[in-house]
Amino acid sequence: MAQLIDGKAVSQRIKDEVRAEIERDGLTVGLAVVIVGNDPASRVYVNNKKKACEMCGIKSYEYALPEETTENELRELVRTLNDDPNVNGILVQLPLPKHITEKKIIKTISPKKDVDAFHAENVGRIVIGNYAFLPCTPAGVMELIHSTGTDVAGKECVVIGRSNIVGKPMAMLLLHENATVTICHSHTKDLAAVCRRADILVSAVGKADFVTADMVKEGAVVIDVGMNRNAENKLCGDVKFDEVEPKASFITPVPGGVGPMTIAMLMKNTLMAKRLQSK
Ligand code: NAP
């Protein structure tokens, strides 16, 4: 039987630490949250981020723009926020409507306020190990792994998924902690055999019931980044939990695993941005 990794508890600890630091040092910290259009999932994420800001004593500034906002209008808003001293972090909720090129918007965000760590400058810093911000989801996963007491150094780690926001930076963070890392994707041959090598298996695919028991080594730490809807429209991860859980030593549930960590790390990054800008 695996031990459940309690993402809610770990994320609460991080948010409490952020709040305590802000109160202790009497800081005024602000996060701008920009949402374009009416995507219901994005609306939920934005509301959760605003709630977390309140919890941490961070002031949130919401900019809810209509679907037909042009790329230039959005870039203009980002530039204004770059120059606003009350705003320490800028988060543009993705995905954006199709007529707006996400890359261009991300490039417009000042790297010092890029609390998602998506800007090419921050990505490059992560690769060379000289970073300020870490991308929220992979950084949250590292916190969850640490919470199990697992020493990552020398471990075989397999990451399924190679997206810029999860898979690739996830692999980098594991590498920085001296793991032996394999990244898998849709062209990987004999995925199950590769995954069975993993002492730590991180799945970021986005398909329900994708990771089955035959892909998991006995005693592995299993981290499920996936956020999917099953046939009953219930939130679920990538891992077929009931059959994988008995084989794992530690496993994240969905919901209540990686999800809350992403927001907690965003709060941590926003405080870090404030510190950087005060230097
Ligand atoms: P993404 O950009 O769609 O990437 C999915 C990755 O999975 C791709 O690299 C893809 O490979 C790989 N993949 C797809 N089918 C595969 C297969 N049959 N075998 C092996 N690899 C396969 O997704 P993402 O943005 O990284 O997100 C992944 C999941 O994490 C989603 O469910 C998302 O909702 C969730 N997520 C959760 C959080 C959170 O806070 N909990 C945050 C971000 C994302 P190719 O590159 O070859 O296509």
Range of the domain at 60: 26-111
Query: Are 251 and 142 part of one and the same domain?
Result: yes
Q: Give percent of the chain above pLDDT 70.
A: 100
Nearest to 87 by CA among 95, 76, 79, 97: 79
Same-domain check for residues 107 and 57: yes
Instruction: Tell me what pLDDT residue 67 has.
Output: 97
Q: With cut-offs at 50, 70 and 90, classify the pLDDT of residue 1.
A: confident
The closest residue, in CA terms, to atom 41 on ligand 1 is 259
Assess whether 105 and 146 both reside in one domain: no
Q: Give pLDDT tens digits for 161-185.
A: 999 999 999 999 999 999 999 999 9
Residue 101 lies in a domain: yes
User: Cα–chain-centroid distance for residue 159?
Assistant: 14
pLDDT over 90 at 93, yes or no: yes
Q: How many independent structural domains does the chain possess?
A: 2
Locate the ligand 1 atom nearest the alpha carbon of residue 238 and give its number.
32
**Residue 215, domain member (yes or no):** yes
Residues composing the chain: 279
Residue 174 belongs to a domain = yes
Residues 189-206: pLDDT tens digits? 999 999 999 999 999 999
Domain-located, residue 218: yes
Q: What is the pLDDT of residue 277?
A: 96
Check whether 279 has a pLDDT greater than 90.
no
Same domain, 56 and 157: no
In this structure, the answer to whether residues 150 and 94 fall within a common structural domain is: no
Same domain, yes or no, for 104 and 181? Answer: no
Query: Would you say 207 and 228 are in contact if contact means Cβ atoms under 8 Å apart?
Result: yes
Tell me the best of 49, 118, 227 to mutate to test the pocket of ligand 1, counting ligand atoms within 8 Å of each CB and taking the most.
Answer: 227
CATH code, domain with 43: 3.40.50.10860
| pLDDT tens-digit series, residues 32-74 | 999 999 999 999 999 999 999 999 999 999 999 999 999 999 9
Q: Is residue 195 part of a domain?
A: yes
pLDDT above 90 for 237:
yes
In angstroms, what is the span from residue 36 Cα to ligand 1's centroid?
Answer: 23
Query: Do 253 and 142 reside in the same domain of the chain?
Result: yes
Please indicate, yes or no, whether residues 188 and 233 belong to a single structural domain of this protein: yes
Pocket of ligand 1 (CB under 6 A): 137, 160-163, 165-167, 184-188, 191, 204-206, 225-228, 258-259, 262
